Amino acid sequence: MLFTDRDDAGRRLGTELARYAVGHPVVLGLPRGGVPVAFHVAHALGAPLDVIVVRKLGVPYQPELAFGAIGEGGVRVISEDIVRRGRLTPRDVAAVEEAEQAELTRRAARYRAGRPQEDLRGRTVIVVDDGIATGATAAAACQVVRAQGAARIVMAVPVAPPDALARVGAVSDEVVCLGSPPGFSSVGQWYRDFSQTPDEEVVALLAQSPRRPPPAERSGVEVAVEAAGLRLPGELTLPPGAGAVVVFAHGSGSSRRSPRNRRVAADLNRAGLGTLLFDLLTPAEEADRSNVFDVDALAARLAAATAWLGSRTPLPPACFGASTGAA
């Protein structure tokens, strides 16, 4: 697979991602090279385009080893394990963070040229780059986007090696890659024209992309809740400005499709609260009515689902249940 240039790669990637248009996503390009690709993706989906400006925080004596990342709005993601193993002091961490924060602020101001940052809370966010080499920057971007409140993250690139895709897949909900060819040594080898993207082009492309407000009433995002070694189907809805997420504990065999539960969830969404509706039992388990009354097992799954939710959004959780769900 060979791309003519980033425009060609972006058009092809936009075609591959067409199915996401109905979910009203936000498209974020990793500057600088990812922005021309993201521009064509956003155009194909009719989605707003923005940049995701992140800075990796490198261990001072081994800068290529990141102990965290920072993003706009004061978002910071720190690996306490690497900080501990690297024997970094609070002063070490602060010094690196201060230097990278200055560069982050400079770049964000340069690229946006006064345009406000897109609100990612409750949105499906498609993060786009022109390719992935090691996956470190892409993974950092996904972590920052998650911390900014995205409900679902899709990392999309034209080309990447398999090991990098696995690394990014661990911190995103889905990875879309047009090709992962053997003999991968660099992103540039898969482009005929891989000339550097100047800052001016990034600014111009962002200026050409109209800002579209999110729908006033946003539908939920289909998710797979990981609990007790299972992937339980669910629906996560995060209205703009939500202050908390209500987790539904369905009682007496009720499911996320229950009209009553969906009416209550809709009322909570209109009141500005997020909701997570998911099935506590698999279809096979529902066939055995005794599982409906196994409160200990259901409670364990509810706890696991709440922990899963905490890894997807920083919003505080609350629980709502009736019958065995309340138990």
CATH number at residue 137: 3.40.50.2020
Highest average pLDDT, of 125-134, 231-240, 280-289, 303-312, comes from 125-134
Q: What percentage of the chain carries pLDDT values higher than 90?
A: 43
Please identify, among 185, 208, 231, the residue that sits at the C-terminal boundary of a domain. Answer: 208
At 254 the pLDDT is 62
Question: Do 146 and 243 lie in a common domain?
Answer: no
- Residue 213 in any domain: the answer is no
Residue 156 has pLDDT above 90, yes or no: yes
Question: Do 229 and 202 lie in a common domain?
Answer: no
Question: Do 67 and 152 lie in a common domain?
Answer: yes
Question: Do 200 and 225 lie in a common domain?
Answer: no
CATH number at residue 245: 3.40.50.1820
- Residue 214 in any domain: the answer is no
At 79 the pLDDT is 84
More confident residue, 174 or 74: 174
Highest average pLDDT, of 26-40, 203-217, 252-266, 308-322, comes from 26-40
In degrees and rounded to multiples of 5, residue 26 shows phi and psi of -105, 135
Question: Do 228 and 177 lie in a common domain?
Answer: no
Q: Of 84-93, 163-172, 174-183, 289-298, give the lowest mean pLDDT range.
A: 289-298
The 10s digit of each residue's pLDDT in 5-55 is 999 999 999 999 998 887 789 999 999 999 999 999 999 999 999 999 998
At 256 the pLDDT is 74
Question: Do 81 and 56 lie in a common domain?
Answer: yes
Across the range 193-212, mean pLDDT stands at: 89
Query: SS3 sequence, 151-205?
Result: CEEEEEEEECCHHHHHHHHCCCCEEEEEECCCCCCCHHHHECCCCCCCHHHHHHH
At 37 the pLDDT is 98
Question: Do 108 and 246 lie in a common domain?
Answer: no
Please identify, among 208, 231, 261, the residue that sits at the C-terminal boundary of a domain. Answer: 208
Question: Do 180 and 316 lie in a common domain?
Answer: no
Domain assignment of residue 117, given as a range: 6-208
Across the range 92-96, mean pLDDT stands at: 94
CA-CA-CA-CA dihedral for 97, 102, 107, 108, to nearest 10:
80
In degrees and rounded to multiples of 5, residue 46 shows phi and psi of 65, 35
More confident residue, 135 or 193: 193
Own/partner pairs, 292-295, CB within 8 angstroms, 24+ separation:
292/252, 292/253, 292/324, 293/324, 295/324, 295/327
Q: How many angstroms separate the most distant Cα atoms in the chain?
A: 64
Across the range 155-176, mean pLDDT stands at: 93
Secondary structure element (H or E) that encloses residue 144, with its range: helix 136-147
Domain count, the chain: 2
- Residue 302 in any domain: the answer is yes
Whose tokens are 């892409």? That residue is 138
pTM comes to 0.65
Determine the Cα–Cα distance for residues 158 and 180; give it in Å rounded to an integer.
9
Question: Do 188 and 86 lie in a common domain?
Answer: yes
The 10s digit of each residue's pLDDT in 56-89 is 899 999 887 888 888 887 878 888 889 999 999 9
Query: Which residue from 125, 139, 143, 135 is spatially nearest to 159, judged by alpha carbons?
Result: 135
- Residue 35 in any domain: the answer is yes
Residues with Cβ within 8 Å of residue 76, at least 6 apart in sequence = 68, 69, 70, 97, 147
Question: Do 191 and 85 lie in a common domain?
Answer: yes
Please identify, among 161, 179, 208, the residue that sits at the C-terminal boundary of a domain. Answer: 208
- Residue 57 in any domain: the answer is yes
- Residue 138 in any domain: the answer is yes
Secondary structure (3-state) at 273 = coil
Q: What is the helix, strand, coil percentage profile of the chain, to 5? A: 40, 25, 35
- Residue 181 in any domain: the answer is yes
Question: Do 198 and 123 lie in a common domain?
Answer: yes
Question: Do 197 and 225 lie in a common domain?
Answer: no
Residue 216 has pLDDT above 50, yes or no: no
In degrees and rounded to multiples of 5, residue 308 shows phi and psi of -60, -45
**Distance separating the N- and C-terminal Cα atoms of the chain:** 56
